């Protein structure tokens, strides 16, 4: 934006001065007219009207001066934006200088790569050590692959009728690649008061097959990689109450330790 000339500044100052004179003259004229009109009034109300009018004129004058000052400052604000433009230009110059510096540092990185190539024969022993450590890690992973098998709490109704039958869904997740055979699920705690009537098994969404039950033990068989769903039909005990220590425990050869879950079922009359 073009910088205002001296004539523009002088004209602006004269215009403001004329506006101040006109506003002052108008205020004085109105004040004298009010004084002449209320000269014969001696009461407190007349004095209050005079004072209020004069205070209003003062506020009006101040407001006009404020708007004049705001307009003058707004006219002077563009040079700051040009200063911002200059700053951004210097920033771009600095960024270009930085890019030149980074490009000039390329030979240093190439010399570093040469140094690493030279030191390669001395690190052959270190490579051998890392190979042996990775082998031990994989064997540890194989021995701890049983941790990939999980059994959350079964999906059973929270409230059943005494002596009635209901269905529980038991989910077995095998996130590894090893199949665990001869797996069993044993009930204990308050769950021994319930009767297992039948159970079917579905592996990875396949067809359901019958699973044998012996008392409080479910012969799951194989736990293949993926998801195994057991659909268990259960009969509630004849005595009502809160059975809050129902326990299911998964056992299988190859598991580092049995997996147990505890849940609660309320039996109502």
Q: What are phi and psi of 208, to 5 degrees?
A: -80, 140
Looking only at the bridges linking them, the beta strands covering 259-268 and 195-203 are unpaired
Q: Rounded to an integer, what distance in angstroms lies between the CA atom of residue 186 and that of residue 218?
A: 6
Mean pLDDT value across residues 74-91: 49
Q: 88: which residues sit within 8 A by CB, 6+ positions away?
A: none
Task: Determine contact, residues 232/199, Cβ cutoff 8 Å.
Answer: yes
Alpha helix locations (H) across the chain? 6-37, 44-76, 78-104, 106-118, 124-143
Q: What pLDDT does residue 54 have?
A: 73
Question: Average pLDDT, stretch 93-121?
Answer: 40
Query: In which band, very low, low, confident or very high, does the pLDDT at 96 lie, cut at 50, 70 and 90?
Result: very low
Per the listing, tokens 């700051």 go with 80
The β-bridge partners of 170 are: 230
User: DSSP states of 125-167 as a string?
Assistant: HHHHHHHHHHHHHHHHHHHTGGGGEE----B--SEEETT-EEE
Alpha carbon distance 27, 164 (integer Å):
98
Is the pLDDT at 157 greater than 90, yes or no? yes
Please tell me the pTM assigned to this model.
0.47
pLDDT digits (tens, 9 = 90+) for 205-236: 999 999 999 999 999 999 999 999 999 999 99
Spatial distance between the Cα atoms of 185 and 214, rounded to a whole number of angstroms: 11
- CB-based contacts of 24, cutoff 8 Å, min separation 6: 61
Mean pLDDT of the 1-15 span: 69
Using an 8 Å Cβ cutoff, are 174 and 225 in contact?
A: yes
* Per-residue confidence (pLDDT) for residue 25, from 0 to 100: 76
Highest mean pLDDT among 22-36, 96-110, 218-232: 218-232
Dihedral of the alpha carbons of 49, 50, 53, 57, in degrees to the nearest 10: -170
């Amino acid at each position: 934006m073009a910088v205002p000339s001296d004539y523009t500044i002088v004209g602006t100052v004269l215009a403001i001065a004329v506006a101040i004179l006109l506003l002052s003259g108008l205020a004085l004229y109105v004040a004298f007219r009010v004084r002449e009109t209320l000269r014969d009034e001696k009461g407190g109300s007349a004095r209050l009207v005079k004072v209020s009018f004069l205070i209003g004129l003062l506020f009006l004058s101040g407001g006009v001066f404020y708007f004049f000052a705001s307009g003058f400052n707004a006219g002077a604000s563009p040079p700051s934006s040009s200063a911002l433009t200059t700053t951004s230009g210097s920033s771009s110059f600095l960024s270009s200088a930085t890019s030149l510096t980074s490009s000039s540092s390329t030979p240093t990185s190439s010399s570093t790569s040469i140094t690493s190539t030279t030191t390669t024969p001395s690190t052959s022993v270190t490579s051998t050590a890392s190979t042996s450590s990775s082998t031990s890690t994989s064997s540890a992973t194989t021995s701890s692959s049983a941790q990939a098998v999980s059994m959350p709490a079964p999906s059973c109704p929270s409230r059943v009728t005494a002596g009635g039958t209901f269905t529980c869904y038991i989910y077995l997740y095998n996130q590894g690649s090893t199949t665990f055979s001869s797996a069993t699920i044993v009930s204990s705690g308050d769950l021994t008061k319930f009767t297992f009537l039948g159970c079917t098994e579905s592996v990875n969404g396949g067809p359901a097959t019958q699973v044998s039950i012996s008392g409080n033990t479910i012969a799951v068989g194989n736990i293949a990689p993926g998801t195994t769903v057991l659909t268990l039909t259960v009969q509630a005990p004849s005595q009502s109450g809160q059975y809050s220590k129902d326990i299911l425990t998964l056992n299988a050869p190859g598991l580092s330790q049995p997996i147990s879950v505890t849940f609660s079922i309320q039996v109502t009359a």
